[in-house]
Structure 1
């Protein structure tokens, strides 16, 4: 018998009859066998006063029986280690058993809660898969495609920046006291073709009345430019430099933009000292109208809170993909974060024709007008139409004159498309080519009159 006291454990071998005893019990049995005088005092308590030898044998047997009942045995294991079944040991087993039962129970409860919360989730972006549902409900489910944007504003700027140019103009004006005087101004433009076609604002090049135009490229080179076309009504102009393999901007689709999406402006605010300044914001509104004179306003504009300052004019307004969605044109000085851009889709047909043919031919109607609504508001006049274009001059022998148009007529529609303003009239006419026939609806003395004419090409004067 080999005894060990560490952690209350006794080791035994096969010679001790494969029993594992409570610590010290085997020693007590041996002491009883070897010293019956000491351990045999309890024999006096025996009811029948058996003789010493019989009592000794019976006592040894009882002690061995007690040890056997309290032992943890494993038959056939010559070196078995046993742990007594103490109260602590039993409590530990009970706690372990409870934990083992609690883990799967908690998992099941968590699963039920998760499933319930998922069934209540109506968050944006969640995708539901319905099986066996009502077909009417299924027909109402619309999957919205994710827009792919570049990885942040730095990526947008890296893509678009090389195509942004500085536009410096020199104008010569006659002063009654000082004679000829030169004026210099700075704006922004964007390259739309690798051969050197540049899109900017008409007012940046003084509506074509400039003495000299210089383009500052992204790499620092200066190039002289020519004004090929401009339209003060749309506030757009196309310039041309002699270049090859110039970096080109990607034109987006301004009809697809939505309020709240990212808007990034690049330009030269306050001159070339702050060239290629980047500002960012969101699309704040669509189809905005701003007055530029008493009788003229620019309509259908994109509103943004991206900072636009003098010098930003003509620069690109970009979306999150780095595409040009507008040409920055104006801001309202009395408020912060009120900038406006011309939708790029207005300029696309013009740009495309320049790229394809090297020129753009604008149709000519032969009349001058103002916004009827603004005129009526300023002068309190009743024109017979709530909105339209009030004609104040008809050019002799022009298409409008040949159709019978008169000063005082209010143009309300062309080929059935409503004309609420001069800006919209200009946009509509850009859809047609010289030789196209159109029907013009006008209000004359409160009566609706339909006129017909053939458009001709406008000649540069």
Structure 2
């Protein structure tokens, strides 16, 4: 009988102690970061840090930070029609404020590659302003427009070179028009250094791929990281597949934006060549070159940077500043990183031999 009572009381005491331990440990199980010790390897003990990210708060925080710097862009373009004369067409896109004095970054195709008759900007506070096109480049699909409005909310630009596959990606834009303005979609970075064709002879290089939903109207809007920093400018979606969106890395736009803000314009450097992709040259001429990729130089203009450096027709450009050049799009992209009087080492292939030449722009 005594043994039964003893067992009964021991059970009660055990239950009380278990409850107290649960109450003590429960809060510690909810912290965002804790250590888990793994097995010893030799004399060193490794510790794995586990970060428990509360994703529901990340998106809210990013939205609050980035939304005021995202704008809607509407355009009116006049197109000439042989049968019906001039026709007016409207377009909708997105942009991101990059300077408090009114500079806004978007896609070139959003402003009709410079052909838009009017460009209007709708701001977070509901106000609307007309904008001027400061700069655009169809090859990069980037443009900078400016409004006569100051003290704007400026987006924080991140570092696209540090982006990795699997990172959180958040897109903000106006999918399918202003009816759904500033829609936020989320996903991850699905791939890096992608290339998509925009015509039979043109492509956009070095894009970031994301499964964050991007639709017509998102173009020109920001792709953001988990800190609310702009890491890319949304540019395209492959219509035949789901979750295949693409963004231009923000580091491509940074030097352009910086110079425009500082000087009010962008002055690009010119190499002084006429060239064609190696593959296109081989297909057109039936000639097989000793390299598979690069730019075959058809002509070098006298007095230009290339001419002074000793580059000549028949050479194939392989690299600029250590960056591989696959086609004309990648060459243009690399040249945008340089300023007048800058120097660069250009690797070329001449009659099957590789050599380096120094070019001063």
User: What is the TM-score of this pair, normalised by structure 2?
Assistant: 0.83
Q: Give the aligned CA root-mean-square deviation in angstroms.
A: 3.3
Q: 1:408 to 1:258 in 2, by over 3 A?
A: same
The equivalent position to 2:266 in structure 1, one of 360, 373, 380, is 360
Give the match for residue 199 of structure 1: 105
Name the structure with the higher strand share.
2
Larger radius of gyration, structure 1 or 2?
Answer: 1
CA shift for structure 1 position 315: 0.5
Q: Deviations over 1:100-140 (max 9, x none)?
A: 56789999xxxxxxxxxxxxxxxx97433999x855x35x7
- Could you list the runs of 5+ residues in structure 1 that have no partner in the other structure? 1-90, 108-123, 456-461
Q: 1:128 to 1:193 in 2, by over 3 A?
A: same
Aligned-partner SS, 1:363:
coil
CA shift for structure 1 position 304: 1.0
CA shift for structure 1 position 188: 0.8
Give the match for residue 161 of structure 1: 67
Q: Deviations over 1:327-361 (max 9, x none)?
A: 00111111111100011122122222333343332
The equivalent position to 1:410 in structure 2, one of 316, 322, 328, is 316
The equivalent position to 2:7 in structure 1, one of 93, 98, 101, is 98
In 1, Cα distance between equivalents of 2:322 and 2:186:
40
Give the match for residue 295 of structure 1: 201
CA shift for structure 1 position 196: 0.8
Name the structure with the higher helix share.
1
Does structure 1 residue 228 correspond to structure 2 residue 134? yes
CA shift for structure 1 position 264: 1.7
Does structure 1 residue 285 correspond to structure 2 residue 191? yes
5 Å-filtered alignment, 1:22-41, equals: none
Aligned-partner SS, 1:211:
strand
Give the match for residue 9 of structure 1: none
In 1, Cα distance between equivalents of 2:245 and 2:116:
26
The equivalent position to 1:304 in structure 2, one of 210, 221, 228, is 210
Q: 1:141 to 1:101 in 2, by over 3 A?
A: closer
The equivalent position to 2:296 in structure 1, one of 387, 390, 397, is 390
- Could you list the runs of 5+ residues in structure 2 that have no partner in the other structure? 17-32
CA shift for structure 1 position 279: 2.0
In 2, Cα distance between equivalents of 1:178 and 1:252:
47
Larger RCO of the pair (alpha carbons < 8 Å, separation 6+): 2
Q: Deviations over 1:214-266 (max 9, x none)?
A: 11112222211112122222211111111111111121222222322322211
* Greater Cα offset, 442-451 or 280-289: 442-451
